[in-house]
């Protein structure tokens, strides 16, 4: 699968995850999605925060701010239901590597 095909698949998967979240009593706002390499460095370069090999730079990751009953839920554990649903859909959940609000689609070993 090409990077472009994977990016388009990722957007559809994220749309399905958002619907699942709202159907299960959660609300979301976006955190980081695309990290422009002009600001964050090309793949392999660490500029600012985040990983040098972040899937955000490939348009294959998004960070969500999670809410339930109007309350902001910050912990990785609070993201677990959403993260496990994301994994069932074929994605990689950052809760497995101490980044609980991170949802990505692996590409060439990058998560």
- Dump pLDDT digits (tens) for 58-92: 999 999 999 999 999 999 999 999 999 999 999 99
CATH of domain 3-104: 3.30.1380.10
Query: Distance between CA 90 and CA 88 in Å, rounded?
Result: 5
Between 106 and 42, residue with greater pLDDT: 106
pLDDT tens, 6-22?
Answer: 999 999 999 999 999 99
Taking the C-alpha atoms of residue 103 and residue 10, their distance in angstroms, rounded to an integer, is 10
pLDDT at 65: 98
Residue of 53 and 85 predicted with greater confidence: 85
Q: What is the pLDDT of residue 37?
A: 73
Which residue carries 């040098």 as its tokens?
Answer: 52
User: Using CA atoms, how far apart are residues 86 and 102, in angstroms rounded to an integer?
Assistant: 10
pTM, two decimals, is: 0.88
Q: How far apart (Å, rounded) are the C-alpha atoms in residues 94 and 20? A: 18
Domain ranges of the chain: 3-104
Q: What is the mean pLDDT of the chain?
A: 89
Beta bridge partners of 65: 29
Residue 53: per-residue pLDDT: 60
């Amino acid at each position: 699968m090409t990077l472009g095909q994977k990016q388009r698949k990722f957007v559809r998967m994220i749309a399905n995850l958002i619907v699942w979240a709202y159907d299960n009593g959660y609300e979301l706002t976006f955190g980081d999605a695309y990290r422009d390499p002009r600001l964050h460095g090309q793949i392999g370069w660490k500029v600012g925060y985040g990983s040098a090999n972040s899937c955000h730079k490939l348009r294959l990751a998004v960070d969500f701010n999670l809410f339930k009953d109007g309350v902001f839920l910050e912990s990785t554990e609070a993201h677990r239901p959403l993260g496990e649903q994301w994994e069932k859909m074929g994605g990689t959940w950052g809760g497995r590597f101490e980044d609980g609000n991170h949802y990505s689609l692996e590409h060439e070993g990058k998560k």
